[in-house]
Structure 1
Amino acid sequence: MFVRRMEQGNLGDSKPVSDGVQELRMHFAAGYRIYYGRDGDTIIILLGGGSKRKQSADIAAAKKRWAAYRKGK
């Protein structure tokens, strides 16, 4: 459901977290998050995801994936 909304440009409750990585927060259950980045007008989705409980580790992993994506361009 949230990925479909993102495809339509509805980023809901999103905020930057670090180094070009954005966080989409979902306010239900365990406080799930989707981490993504932007490359111009294109959204690169699913750098990672997780719950509020593992947020720090999930952000670190998303930052590594985003850096690898940017390096490969």
Structure 2
Amino acid sequence: MGTLLGYSAQGACKFGFYKFFTKTYSDMAGPDNAVKYKTLIYLAGSTSAEVISDITLCPFEAVKQTTRQ
């Protein structure tokens, strides 16, 4: 059950924060630079989202490891 909840939370965070960070970084760059550096903005957004979603997954993985022993 922890696996299901953990990976569900990770997926939801990954998708939601990816959208949030790409919009935030695009707004910070401005309209002209957002188009010019589109790939870099997408990479930065996905990296930021991945960090947060992995942190969200960690407690579920820790619980899963302790229940197996």
Q: What is the TM-score with the length of structure 2 in the denominator?
A: 0.40
**Which of the two has higher C-alpha Rg?**
2
Specify which structure has the higher proportion of helix: 2
